[in-house]
Structure 1
Amino acid sequence: LGVVLGLDSRRVQFTPDLMPSDILGSEVMEQDEFGKRSFRFISGPIFAQLLMADEINRASPRTQSALLQAMQEY
């Protein structure tokens, strides 16, 4: 369905060791050639237009909560 509609689709396999940052993304510090430092956000799969989350019950409660909170805020 996502391919037909041209949507950005992603799949997440939930495991006990999956962290909230693996779903939501994280900020990383980068340094350019002049030594200036800045933060850049690397988005996780939750920012896809179509997300398939497989076996959510296997994840830790903290990771499940992060997924549900992100879904609620949209």
Structure 2
Amino acid sequence: MDAAKVAKEVSRLPEKHRAALNWCYVLDPRSKDASPTRACKKLGTSFQGLADLLRDARQMLINRGA
């Protein structure tokens, strides 16, 4: 039940925030797509921007009780 609740709340996040969470928690760290540089290019942001997206996405989930 908890996983379903978290998945539902993640799906409601803005696209870039969802993508940042996916990069951090879902992608296989051995894949080429898991590099922070590729994630930044895909999201059109800097390393700090990627960190900000992750922080903000986590906080949004906390605020929603997920």
| TM-score exceeds 0.5 | no
If each structure's strand is expressed as a fraction of its own residues, which one has the higher value?
Answer: 1
TM class by shorter chain equals under 0.3
TM value normalised by structure 2? 0.27
If each structure's helix is expressed as a fraction of its own residues, which one has the higher value?
Answer: 2
TM value normalised by structure 1? 0.26
